[in-house]
Chain A
Amino acid sequence: MSASGTSTMQGQDTRGRADDTARLAVEQASYAYSPTRRQIPTFTLTATSFQARQRELVAILGPNASGKSTLLQMIAGSLAPLSGRVLLDGIEIRSLDARTRAQRIAVVQQHAPLVFPARAGEFVLQGRHPYGRKLHLPNSEDVNLARNALAQVGAEHLADRRMDQLSGGEKQRIILARALAQQPLLLLLDEPTLHLDIGAQVELLERLRRLAEENRYTVIVVTHELALAAEFADQVVLLHQGKCLRVGTPAAVYQRDLLEQVFEAPLEVEAGPAGRPRVSLRSRPAGSIGLESGERTRGRST
């Protein structure tokens, strides 16, 4: 990533970005799903609170069906909290119209196959949609920003390839580039490592860390990957069965009993370098088998 790229991505940004004030504030936000309005909710996310500053990477961690994606959709503004509120730079996210919201929040989610194939470059240009006029035909600035976004994810060479011909990892990078082209304050990712091999998972998280630092994003990642969250997150929000159990640094949240109860697996938690915990699977009879991702991240961090 070139320095000029960073300055272009951020150059025209006049929206206030102070390092130490909270950019995102989730205040006692709760949600309930019910099949119809009159029926009892089948899933509830109880009141959850946390704050995130710029340059911070927050992992929303928990096993399947713990309410991670629901919390992310509330932050994205696509679900209205049942109680409480979600603020971005002091403004309630739900009060912003879709276009303004898209200028401030970019969401990377599991991508369904395209009905009609598009080229990667065109796909990234869609990220400029919230800034366009009526027909949204891209101007040279949009094209430059899209090129920069592709460069930031190391995918300039993929611009003219068709989306349906890309590998899982390549596609993930293009989707991320589209989010960067939105020039957001807040970058939200829903299980971004799901279909990636371990090498690509680590590469993605390292890239997110770097982007948070260079572009001054606040990055929120939904994941169930314990080892990756321990290695890369500044803050962890631990969810279990719709309840927020703990919010804090990985070192504060990663306690063996708590994680074993949440993930229903025998785990080993040790203190690693730079105060980050290391998680591994404790094999039942004897010896210890490292979690695949844990092994890899440990290898890299030392």
Chain B
Amino acid sequence: MRPLTMRRVGWVCALLTAILFAVSVMALKLGAVPISVSDLVVSLARVAIGRSAQLPSDYRLIVFDLRLPRILAGALVGAALSVAGAGYQALLRNPLADPYVLGVSSGSALGAILALQLLPQVVLATPIGAFIGAILTITAVYYLGRREGQLDSTTLLLAGIITASFLSAIIMFLMTTLASRDLRGMAFWLMGDLSTPLAPSLRWFFVVALVVGIGAIYTTSADLNLLVTGEREAMHLGVDVTRVKLVVYVAASGLTALAVSASGAIGYVGLLVPHVMRLLFGSDYRLLIPASALAGAIGVVLADTLARTVVAPTELPVGAMTAIAGAPLFIFLLRRSMR
């Protein structure tokens, strides 16, 4: 018997943090203007000691104003979506649950668009609208996915996919008819894109909200291990099922809303990342949550770097890259679960 220890959680997190660092350096280096690692180290060191004025201005623009914020946004979005996916998978006892597949990302995008249209002056309109959209969508999909009072995994997925397609159609309709200057393009909301950076004034809000969201889900991770075996079993083992469900639904929807506000509806991250982490490190949520957060950050930064460089100087939306990797996995898992 090899029970999970804090030491093992620490080692896995340290390893993934090192990989995230390496991937971020690579992402800073690669692009239409290549930058050597030594130049990067020198410029980062100068910024660290407060001598950023000595940097050439084009360097500062490319590294600190363009690439670094984009990497941070990618890491934030990846972490948020992966943890949200892992949370939904436990609550719905469905390995295929993911904010995008369940339609929560589309609901969130619609909420954000409506909030931007109706309350353009409000500072946090986008994330708040996205959050309300996410909560309403997951509630609707949860009730549509029930059959005879029980959650049915196939009905749930169908309900999610149909809801996503319905909400996407409404988004397309709004984007075509509203044509407002403040709204980003249709590709952003439907496919996900990291080319427009986060507003600097909102960066701290996003980071704090991400930590709170992931932290809230992490405090329930031991309960989630039992909840995946069934609500009644979890209750018999002392889990306060109602409280845990509420915390995780709200936190996972909040994380999805954060990700969608920052980058639109990037798909399959919440499916792909927790699944790979389970294969590598097992299904214990006390390890799975931090591992998924870090690996999600790695995954999206990597996917975005590919999206920027594969057909450079043209850019692909990052959601296209994650869908190319994620959709075949979805089909594979679906076929396996039907066997």
Contact = CB atoms under 8 A, between A and B. Distances in A.
Interface in B258-286: 278, 282-284, 286
B53 interface: no
Given A98-B238, A106-B236, A115-B95, A147 B229 contact: no
Contact of B232 (A97, A106, A109, A132): A109
Interface in A44-95: 76, 78
B36 interface: no
Given A78-B236, A112-B229, A129-B237, A134 B219 contact: yes
B6 A126 contact: no
A130 B235 CA distance: 10
A174 interface: no
B283 A147 contact: no
B1 A109 contact: no
A102 B3 contact: no
Contacts of A136: 222, 286
Interface in A114-160: 114-119, 121-122, 125-127, 129-130, 132, 134-138, 142-143, 146-147, 159-160
Contacts of A143: 1, 3
Contact of A182 (B4, B237, B239): B237
A138 B233 CA distance: 19
A243 interface: no
Contacts of A118: 282-284
Nearest to A136: B222
A146 B2 CA distance: 12
B93 interface: yes
B57 interface: no
B238 A112 contact: no
A107 interface: yes
Nearest to B283: A116
Interface string B1-18: 111111000000000000
B305 interface: no
A254 B145 CA distance: 46
B221 interface: yes
B228 interface: yes
A146 B236 contact: no
A1 B28 CA distance: 62
B222 A132 contact: yes
A129 B238 contact: yes
**Size category, A interface:** 35 or more
B145 to A, nearest CB: 15
Given A98-B235, A106-B236, A146-B1, A135 B221 contact: yes
B222 A112 contact: no
Contact of B1 (A105, A121, A182): A121
A102 B5 contact: no
Contacts of A102: 236-238
Given A115-B93, A116-B228, A125-B3, A137 B240 contact: no
A195 interface: no
Contacts of A99: 238, 240
Nearest to B230: A112
B4 A137 contact: yes
B283 A126 contact: no
A126 B225 contact: yes
B154 interface: no
Contacts of B226: 126, 129
Contact of B239 (A112, A119, A129, A146): A129
B117 interface: no
Given A76-B236, A98-B240, A121 B2 contact: yes
A116 B3 contact: no
Interface in B278-296: 278, 282-284, 286
Contacts of B219: 134-135
A109 B226 CA distance: 14
Contacts of B286: 135-137
A159 B1 contact: yes
Contacts of A115: 89, 93-95, 228-229
A101 B238 contact: yes
A255 interface: no
Nearest to A124: B1
Given A134-B219, A138-B3, A127 B235 contact: no
Nearest to B1: A121
Q: Residue among B1, B4, B6, B225 with the most chain A CB within 10 A?
A: B1
A103 interface: yes
Contacts of A105: 236
B95 A116 contact: yes
Nearest to B3: A138
A109 B5 CA distance: 29
22 contacts: A78-B232, A78-B235, A97-B240, A98-B239, A99-B238, A107-B233, A111-B233, A115-B93, A115-B228, A116-B283, A118-B284, A121-B3, A122-B284, A125-B1, A127-B237, A130-B237, A134-B219, A137-B4, A137-B5, A138-B4, A146-B1, A160-B2
Interface of B: 1-6, 89, 93-95, 219, 221-222, 225-226, 228-230, 232-233, 235-241, 278, 282-284, 286
Given A112-B229, A115-B228, 8 more contacts: A78-B236, A115-B94, A116-B283, A122-B1, A126-B237, A136-B222, A143-B3, A146-B1
8 closest Cβ pairs, A-B complex:
A102-B238, A121-B1, A130-B238, A136-B222, A116-B283, A99-B238, A107-B236, A138-B3
